[in-house]
Amino acid sequence: MKPGSYVEIKTKTGEILKGIVMNTNDPKILSLKLDSGYNIGLDKKNILYMNELRKNQEIKPKQQEEIKINKNLKTIAILHTGGTVASKVSYATGAVFPSFSPTELINMFPELKTIANIKSRLIGNMFSEDIRFVHYNIIAKEIEKEIKAGVDGIIITHGTDTLAFTSLALSFTLENLNKPVILVGAQRSSDRPSTDAAMNLICAAQFITRSNFNEVGICMHGKSGDDFCYILPACKTKKLHTSRRDAFKAVNSNPIAKINKEGKIEFFQEYHKKEHKDKLKLKLFNDKLKLGILKAHPNLSKEEVKMFSKFNGLIIEGTGLGHLPINKIDKNTKENELILKELNKLAKKIPVVMTSQCIFGRVNMNVYDTGRKLQDSGVLGNYSDMTLEAAFIKLAWLLSNYKKNQIKDLINNNFRGEISKRVTYEENLFRLFKVF
């Protein structure tokens, strides 16, 4: 069977499967895209029979029509960095491939043409886990180009795995931002019936055109169903599930708003547009920086701390209120004392910032003696409720734009809303479990 043929297969176990045959590099394996959108690989030895229900059909692409500008609509630039939001299925192979031109986007999501004039282009095409500091600079410069060109808002399509890091990076980099920049991802591929790509993109476009929001934000599903999307704060959001469509949640903060596909907006608190007297300024990242993350765990060794001696900065994900195993309490905990000695040396050379393994709450290194020792050693970040992602990106941004001796005083400054006012534990739990 040629790739693209729609077939029915019966396996030796009696299972009957239907789907599109896909290309595969292994001659012993039949790759099949099921009707559900999932891909599976079958050992050909286990196939009892296969019937071709529909031959390979080459679908001719629609002739691209010129998109007319509607002067009554705002203009949105959609900049693609990768991910599954703007992708479609090849009926010849069953594979998914990216689609970036405005016409192709309109064909995929026809609702967009009633919402805004769309400009669309590719600025990168990569898995989000492969992004480095230099890519934040590239995205920021492309955003600057679009703002100078006069667009009313910008959507960044992005893979979900490090979307929270990029939203933070852009929020810090784009100083005096006066136009909305919304990051959009998709948890489910566009070739699956349960895809969230269309709704996330349409809701982002609706929010840009119907609100006076002029910051960096994230637009993702608010529930597992297609009821609405949340507009989430760029510096207080975390991905909390590997595959659910409502995986992104605000941490120690509220969502900014919720919006449905029809454009109905409900703000969670009164929103005031930020006014900037100065023009947009890019405060970019030094892509040569080396920042590390050390996770506290039982049986930590001094070598794990020492390995960061040639780095420019370190984020610690401590236990509880912000602790590390540094106390010698018996003959079996001598290593803990050595960890503290290494930490003392390290904190004299580079900024070391504490965060917590806990999702909610804030660091408080004044409660226990362990925390006081860590502060004496030079560990920063006391009283902060930054997520690990926020602390990492903020430290990189500070090291890129300020002198190292300024970091101690700046790390707890609230630049972009990355540090919030006190939020009760009950409020956090209510927001989290109301939708999960």
How buried is 27 (Cβ within 10 angstroms: 0-12 exposed, 13-18 middle, 19+ buried)? exposed
Catalytic residues: 84, 160-161, 239
Pairing of strands 313-318, 291-295: parallel
- 207 and 88 in a common domain: yes
The pLDDT of residue 24 is above 60: yes
Which position has the token pair 């993702």?
220
Together in a domain, 265 and 297: no
Cβ(339)–Cβ(302) below 8 Å? yes
Q: What is the pLDDT of residues 43-72, one digit of tens each?
A: 999 999 999 998 875 555 555 556 788 999
Cβ(228)–Cβ(262) below 8 Å: no
- Give dist(CA 262, CA 257) in Å, integer: 14
| Model pLDDT, residue 40 | 83
**Cβ atoms of 134 and 122 closer than 8 Å:** no
* Structural domain count, the chain: 3
Average pLDDT of the residues in 95-124? 81
Query: What DSSP state is assigned to residue 116?
Result: -
pTM of the model: 0.85
Same domain, 126 and 275: yes
Question: Which of these ranges, 292-306, 316-330, 383-397, 409-423, has the smallest mean pLDDT?
Answer: 409-423
Residue 398 CA to residue 267 CA, distance in Å, equals 31
Complete DSSP assignment for 301-329: -HHHHHTTTTSSEEEEEEBTTTB-S----
Is there a single domain that holds both residue 278 and residue 297? no
160 in a structural domain: yes
Which of 257, 282, 307 finishes a domain?
282
Q: Is residue 139 located within the same domain as residue 251?
A: yes
| Domain contains 67 | no
Q: Check residue 343 and report its DSSP letter.
A: H
Q: Confidence class of residue 110 from pLDDT cuts 50, 70 and 90?
A: confident
Residue bearing tokens 């965060």: 355
230 is in which domain, residue-wise? 75-282
In a domain, 364, yes or no: yes
17, 18, 35, 42, 429 from 39: Cα distances, Å: 12, 11, 9, 10, 36
d(CA 105, CA 119): 10
What pLDDT does 68 receive?
A: 83
**90 and 214 part of one domain:** yes
Please report the DSSP string for 138-198 in residue order: HHHHHHHHHHHTT-SEEEEE--STTHHHHHHHHHHHEET--S-EEEE--SS-TTSTT--HH
Asked if residue 153 and residue 14 are part of one domain, the reply reads no
CA distance 385 to 391: 9
Please give the pLDDT value at position 89. Answer: 59
Residue 198 lies in a domain: yes
Query: Cα 430–216–229 angle (5° rounding)?
Result: 45
Tell me the sheet residues that pair with 184.
157, 219
| Residue 435 confidence class, pLDDT cut points 50, 70, 90 | very low
* CATH number, position 404: 3.40.50.40
pLDDT digits (tens, 9 = 90+) for 128-174: 999 999 999 999 999 999 999 999 999 999 989 999 999 999 999 99
- Structural domain contains residue 425: no
